[in-house]
């Protein structure tokens, strides 16, 4: 299982639990998954494919 699969699974099992806590701010698994999917879709729209390196 890779990190993307872990986040996707965690978002389904406990969407309201905190995935990230930093300097008093929290991001729940559902929100993290939504943001990760937005980034992935934007990269895909710009022609980035599986295996490509992105800096």
The continuous run of DSSP H or E covering 12 comes out as helix 3-13
Rounded to whole angstroms, how far apart are CA atoms 32 and 19? 7
Mean pLDDT of all residues in 41-53: 96
pLDDT(1) > 90: no
Percent of the chain with pLDDT over 70: 100
Rounded to whole angstroms, how far apart are CA atoms 30 and 9? 10
Task: Tell which residue, 9, 46, 44, has the closest CA to residue 29.
Answer: 9
Look up tokens 């998954």; give the residue. 33
Rounded to whole angstroms, how far apart are CA atoms 17 and 21? 11
pLDDT(26) > 90: yes
Mean pLDDT of all residues in 15-28: 97
**pLDDT for the residue 15:** 98
Mean pLDDT of all residues in 36-51: 96
């Amino acid at each position: 299982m890779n990190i993307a699969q872990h986040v996707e699974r965690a978002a389904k099992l406990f969407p309201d639990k905190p995935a990230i806590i930093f300097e008093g701010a929290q991001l729940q698994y559902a929100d993290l998954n939504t943001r990760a999917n937005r980034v992935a879709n934007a990269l895909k729209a710009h022609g980035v494919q599986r295996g490509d390196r992105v800096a």
